[in-house]
Amino acid sequence: MIKPDAVRNGHIGAILEKITSAGFKIAAMKYTQLSKRDAQEFYAIHKERPFYGELVAFMTSGPIVSAILEKENAVEDFRALIGATNPEEAAEGTIRRLFATDITENAVHGSDSDENAAIEGAFHFSGREIY
Ligand code: CMP
């Protein structure tokens, strides 16, 4: 996902350019806004964390771009491309270092395993929206 802060700040094009230049194929993509229920479900794994309420409020604060990306070693390579969760700790040149605001408003989300990528892909897209 390209998160609401990056959308609001006009970074959709620049972020997609970095993603496609890094060799990712876009298998599915949409511009949408999460409901409170959507965001609570998507981030259910974090529901006991102190930042959960703030995260849900942020993720529903405006539209997002969601996508399914394909590449050899996609999960690991995408996490390297986006950088650490906290943009202050993200390496130079990474998407979060370039475009994130802070640890909550951190510009993008990437799946942390192939298993979660399949679950998260199915959360955003039906089978006939995936190419
Ligand atoms: P994301 O990679 O989408 O996964 C969980 C999100 O919670 C994270 O990015 C941030 O947007 C948000 N978040 C806010 N505070 C924290 C924190 N202290 N640690 C981890 N994630 C946080």
Nearest CA to ligand 1 atom 15: 104
Write down the pLDDT at residue 127: 95
Residues 6+ apart with CB under 8 A from 60: 4, 33, 34, 35, 36, 38, 39
Q: What is the mean pLDDT of the chain?
A: 98
- pLDDT one-digit tens code per residue, 24-71: 999 999 999 999 999 999 999 999 999 999 999 999 999 999 999 999
Q: How far is the CA of 50 from the centre of ligand 1 (A)?
A: 10
Write down the pLDDT at residue 42: 98
Pocket of ligand 1 (CB under 6 A): 46, 51, 55, 85, 103-104, 106, 109
Q: How far is the CA of 128 from the centre of ligand 1 (A)?
A: 30
- Going along the chain from its start, the domains and CATH numbers come out as 4-71+109-125 (3.30.70.141)
What mean pLDDT is predicted for residues 101-118?
97
Write down the pLDDT at residue 96: 98
**What is d(CA 101, CA 86) in angstroms, rounded to the nearest whole number?**
9
Write down the pLDDT at residue 40: 98
Burial class (CB within 10 angstroms; exposed 0-12, middle 13-18, buried 19+) of 66: buried
Write down the pLDDT at residue 65: 99
Sign of CA dihedral 62, 91, 83, 80: positive
What mean pLDDT is predicted for residues 91-97?
98
**11 belongs to the catalytic site:** no
